[in-house]
Amino acid sequence: MKDWTAKRERYLRESVPTRLGELAASLARIRSFSNNELNRDAVVYLIKESKFFIEWTAIDAGIDQAAELVELQVQLAHWQLNWSTIWADDAQRKKVADQAKVWSDRVLKMSGLLSEPAISAS
């Protein structure tokens, strides 16, 4: 996506928990897409998207959440800077996939979306 403005405007209309849920989903896609070496460009996009999601969310999150998000953003920046090396090495790519899963689970828990009561269709 060349123009992030529309995506940002839509994203910012969501609540912080929903934004965190979208970030968690993006991280989960990094994990699953990393299993196929043909998905290199898609994973690069997802890393960039995740960094934007953090930037757009951290300012509205609580201090503890913001601190964790900054830690995640540093991790994503590290992956981005070393992406050619990471992607070329199956072991490093698997390590990124595993770390993305850990972060996805952590951000989803942070969102509180899993603890919200389910809406029943009565």
C-alpha distances (whole Å) from 51 to each of 23, 62, 79, 119 are 9, 18, 11, 31
Q: How far is CA 98 from the centre of its chain?
A: 13
Distance CA 104, CA 69 (A): 11
Q: What is the pTM of this model?
A: 0.89
58 neighbors 69 (Cβ within 8 angstroms): yes
Host H or E run for residue 37 = none
Task: Write down the pLDDT at residue 2.
Answer: 61
Task: Report pLDDT for 3.
Answer: 80
In the chain, where the domains are located: 16-111
Structure tokens at 118: 């389910």
Amino acid identity for residue 54 in this structure = I
In tens digits, the chain (122 residues) has pLDDT values of 468 899 999 999 999 999 999 999 999 999 999 999 899 999 999 999 999 999 999 999 999 999 999 999 999 999 999 999 999 999 999 999 999 999 999 999 999 888 856 565 54
